[in-house]
Every structure is written in C-alpha cells, then in structure tokens.
C-alpha cells in the first residue's frame, strides 16, 4: 500500500544515466511520491527476514526474524518477531501506520529481559533499531504530504527508468534535512534513497539489490542500508513470502508481542 522503509530495501552502487528531460514529465514530485506510497502489496503478507549487520571491519551479526503485515485501509499494521540468535530471541516490534495526514505512527517494542512492552516516543524515533542502520522512524511509513517534493530529473538506474525526487520535510525539527529517491516508473518502487542529516550532509543510502513480481505485486526481496559516517551496513533478505494468505487480527496486539510465536 505505501512506500516500505524497513521491510523492503536494496543495494547497488551504479552510475545513473539520463534518458529524458524533466520537462517531458506530466507528473509532479508529489504525484510521483503518492503513487509509490499507494503501491499495492496485497491485503496481507508474511515472510521470513534475515537481517545481517556488517561493521567497518567486515564482521557480521545475523538475525532471523518472522514478520507479518496487514492492510486495514485506514491503518497498516506490522509486527516482527526475532527468532535468533539467543541474545535477541523473543524480542518483538510492532508498527501501526495511518493513512490520515499528520497522524504519526504508533510503535512498540517488547524486550524479554525486562518482560515489558515499551511504547516508542516521538523523541526516540531517531534512535537506531536493534543495532541496525534503520531508525525507528525509518521503519514506519511517511505520509507524502509531510514533505514538499521536487522532481529533479529522470534517469536510468540499473536498467530501470526512474524519477529522481527530492523530499524536504515541512517540520524543520525532523531528523533528516532532505531525502532523494529513485522511483521506478510504472512499478513505483523506491530502488534507491539518499538521506541527508540535519546539517544537510549526505550520510546514508538505501539501495535495492533485488525485487520480484509475486502474485502480481512488486516486492523488494533484498535491500541494504549503508551508513557512510559509521561505515556500517544492514542487509535484508526476504524469503518464504506469502501474500494474501490470511492473517488473524489478534496477531497485531501487545499480548501477541509478549506471547511471541509458538
């Protein structure tokens, strides 16, 4: 339904080649971002996620996760359960994203060591999630009208015709001063996204390694976030993807976060 930050990501450091002048486009920056936000992904989806954290020395930490998503039209609910390794097993995270303009995501994390579910406050959304290169804010869905959008150009990236759109937050206190997104025409996938910090400095990039058409829906199945400042990378790979298989409503509750998967 919306542009997916956490569940879908990608990586490739390739040179982009211009293919068409911006003036030939009939779409505005906002319209392009809205199409990516509205991209259909089915009523629900479940999958297994391998998250690999790679530090500056090339050392890896691998985490196995099961995740679920369901679209309720006015709200999209996601939940993930950490299955391995032992030090993060039974940790869970839940995110509710709303289609209503100006309504922030609700987020919760369950930490088994504390046996407590914690609500993520707005002040904590710039914190990094579980040692990854994603902030809590990156895990949610940002409403297109939270930013102003400008179509910079159109070009090819990895063989795909893309719109390149700059997005500047309306809230001057937001953690990013701007982002620049490469959005594939017709598929409406964000296959690359550059992030700029509060001082306007480029510091991390999200890029697509692989995406597939599954049951008629374009799904990013491998992605990567690279933090230039820390020289740290988070790689995501999805497998065993089931779309429209049916997920019970009670999957997305604090009780389920504590109970975990049996």
Quick: pLDDT tens for 207-236.
Answer: 999 999 999 999 999 999 999 999 999 999
Round to whole Å and give the CA distance between 45 and 47: 7
User: What pTM was estimated for this model as a whole?
Assistant: 0.88
* pLDDT score at 12: 30
Question: With bands split at pLDDT 50, 70 and 90, how would you rate the model's confidence at 68?
Answer: very high
Round to whole Å and give the CA distance between 187 and 217: 9
Give the tokens for residue 261. Answer: 């998967």
* pLDDT score at 71: 97
* pLDDT score at 1: 46
Share of the chain above pLDDT 70, in %: 90
CB proximity list for 159: less than 8 A, separation 6 or greater: none
pLDDT at 65 over 90: yes
User: What b/e readout covers 89-118, taking b as 16+ CB neighbours within 10 angstroms?
Assistant: ebbbbbbbbbbeeeeebebbbbeeeeeeee
78 vs 67, 230, 249, CA distance in Å?
Answer: 7, 28, 11
pLDDT at 151 over 50: yes
* pLDDT score at 183: 98
Average pLDDT, the chain: 91
Give the tokens for residue 61. Answer: 């930490």
Instruction: Tell me the torsion sign for CA atoms 11, 14, 18, 22.
Output: positive
Question: With bands split at pLDDT 50, 70 and 90, how would you rate the model's confidence at 15?
Answer: very low
Domain 17-259: give its CATH architecture: Clam (2.50)
Question: With bands split at pLDDT 50, 70 and 90, how would you rate the model's confidence at 22?
Answer: very low
* pLDDT score at 197: 96
Taking residues 225-248, report their average pLDDT: 97
* pLDDT score at 102: 87
* pLDDT score at 92: 98
Q: Tens of pLDDT along 105-145?
A: 999 999 999 999 999 999 999 999 999 999 999 999 999 99
HEC states along the chain?
Answer: CCCCCCCCCECCCCCCEEEECHHHCCCCHHHHHHHHHCCCCCCEEEEEEEEEEECCCCCEEEEEEEEEEEECCCEEEEEEEEEECCCCCCCEEEEEEECCCCCCCEEEEEECCCCEEEECCHHHCCCECCCCCCECHHHCCCCHHHEEEEEEEEEEECCEEEEEEEEEECCCCCCCCEEEEEEECCCCCEEEEEEECCCCCEEEEEEEEEEEEECCEEEEEEEEEEECCCCEEEEEEEEEEEECCCCCHHHCCHHHHHHCCC
Q: Tens of pLDDT along 156-186?
A: 999 999 999 999 999 999 999 999 999 999 9
* pLDDT score at 242: 98
């Amino acid at each position: 339904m919306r542009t997916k930050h956490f569940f879908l990501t990608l990586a490739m450091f390739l040179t982009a080649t211009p293919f068409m002048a911006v003036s030939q486009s009939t779409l505005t920056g906002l319209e392009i971002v809205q199409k990516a936000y509205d991209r259909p992904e089915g009523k629900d989806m479940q999958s297994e996620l391998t998250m690999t954290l790679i530090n500056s020395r090339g050392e890896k930490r691998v985490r196995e996760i099961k995740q679920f998503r369901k679209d309720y039209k006015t709200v999209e609910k996601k939940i993930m359960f950490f299955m391995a390794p032992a030090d993060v097993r039974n940790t869970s995270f839940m995110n509710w994203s709303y289609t209503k303009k100006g309504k922030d995501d609700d987020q919760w994390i369950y930490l088994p060591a504390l046996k407590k579910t914690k609500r993520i406050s707005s002040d904590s959304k710039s914190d990094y999630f579980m040692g990854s290169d994603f902030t809590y804010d990156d895990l949610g869905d940002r409403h297109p009208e939270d930013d102003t959008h400008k179509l910079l150009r159109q070009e090819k990236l990895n063989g795909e015709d893309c719109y390149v759109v700059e997005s500047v937050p309306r809230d001057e206190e937001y953690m990013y001063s701007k982002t620049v997104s490469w959005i594939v025409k017709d598929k409406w996938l964000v296959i690359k996204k550059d992030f700029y910090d509060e001082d306007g400095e480029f510091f991390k990039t999200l890029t697509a390694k692989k995406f597939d058409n599954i049951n008629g829906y374009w799904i990013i199945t491998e992605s990567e976030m690279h933090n230039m400042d820390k020289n740290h990378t988070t790689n995501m790979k999805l497998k065993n993807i089931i779309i429209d298989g049916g997920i019970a409503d009670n999957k997305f509750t604090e009780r389920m976060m504590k109970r975990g998967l049996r």
